[in-house]
Every structure is written in structure tokens, then in C-alpha cells.
Structure 1
Amino acid sequence: MFLHLGKDYVIPLKDVIAIIDVESALKSEITKEFLEVAEEEDFIHDIAKEEIKSYVISEKVEKGKNNKYEIRKSKIYASNISSTTLFKRANFIDNIK
């Protein structure tokens, strides 16, 4: 299964670690600091190009040389789609009215 994040971006659901509402993120000092550091270290990929409504934290695991070790690549997507809509698309929430 895949999750459409907006624009032309789709990621595998198995790579999704968290979907965070931007308003909730900005209320928490720890989360705000985490996002600031992530932005400084170029982990945030802004696909919103407008008002950011949610962040999707993902991690892709790739095999290293000769399948001896794993390489983990983290990326945070800033999306203009609400966290509720992303949860629905991912089928994480059933029967929301």
C-alpha cells in the first residue's frame, strides 16, 4: 500500500513512522525543536509549497553491500494535506464521520 502526500508524492505505507498535525507540533516545544533541527540538517522535504498542514515522518531501510547491513534513510515531508485526511488515506482511522 502507498500513501499519497500531495502533488506528485507517494510513499510506501511501510515507510511511514508518524503523521503529525502542524498545529499540534507547534504547541510542543520538543516537537518544534525536533523539526527545527531536522530542517537545519535538510531532512525536511517541503512538498506543500503553500500552507503546511502536516508532517509525515518516514524511514526507508535499504540493504548495504552484500546484504550485510542496513542503511536507514529518514525524511520528513511537509504536506498541505491535513493529518486527518492522510490518516484516512492510510486507513489508519476507520469510520470517521
Structure 2
Amino acid sequence: MFIHIGDDHVIQSKDVVTIIDYSLMASSSIIEEMIFNQRKNKQVVETEENHAKSIVVTKDYIYFSPLSVYTLKKRANMMTTLNKLEDYSEEQGI
């Protein structure tokens, strides 16, 4: 399934490694170093006007999202719920 992470970016949920609160970036040298290295490789997608609330790490890219971790989690869980509903309807022959 896909998750809309804001700023017209849609990613596959299977590619998500982690979602981190943006405020943690300043307190973690490991996160800062990871982002610095990915920026050198041009694998960071910034949000418009730096209004990031969360950092979405995928297999290939790091996305700065204007949506909160909580909102992204709800969207990901909604997709899981929809998948289960689709599976149930197929089992019932609906």
C-alpha cells in the first residue's frame, strides 16, 4: 500500500524503515550524521520552507514531512485496516 506523507509525496509503506519526530534531530548526532551523508548523496527530500514535523526514513531516501509522526502512524494503520477489510471481503465472496 501507499502512504501520503505530505507535500505531494506518496511512498510505499513496505519501504518505510522508520518515522522519527523532527525535534529529535537536534538531540541526536547519529541522526544528524545520517541525514548529512544522505544529503551528500542527494537522497534527502526536504519539505517546503522547512516546516518539517517528522523524518521518514525509507530504503532509498529520507523525507522531511510536514505531518506529525502521529498522523503518519494513523495513515499507515488505516492502510493496514483497509487491507484486512479487502481480505475479509474476498474470503466471503463479496
TM range (shorter): 0.7 to 0.9
Residue 44, structure 1, aligned to residue 44, structure 2: yes
* SS in structure 1 of the partner of residue 77 of structure 2: coil
Q: Which has the larger radius of gyration?
A: 2
For 1:23, the equivalent position in structure 2 comes to 23
State the number of aligned residues. Answer: 77
Per-residue deviation, 1:89: 0.8
* SS in structure 2 of the partner of residue 14 of structure 1: helix
Q: Which has the higher strand share?
A: 1
Unmatched tracts of structure 2, length 5 or more: 79-94
Question: What is the root-mean-square deviation in Å for CA atoms of aligned residues?
Answer: 1.5
- Residue 82 of structure 1: which of 44, 68, 72 is its match? 68
For 1:54, the equivalent position in structure 2 comes to 54
Per-residue deviation, 1:23: 0.6
Q: Which has the higher helix share?
A: 2
Cα distance in 1 for partners of 2:39, 2:26 equals 14
Percent of aligned pairs with the same amino acid:
39
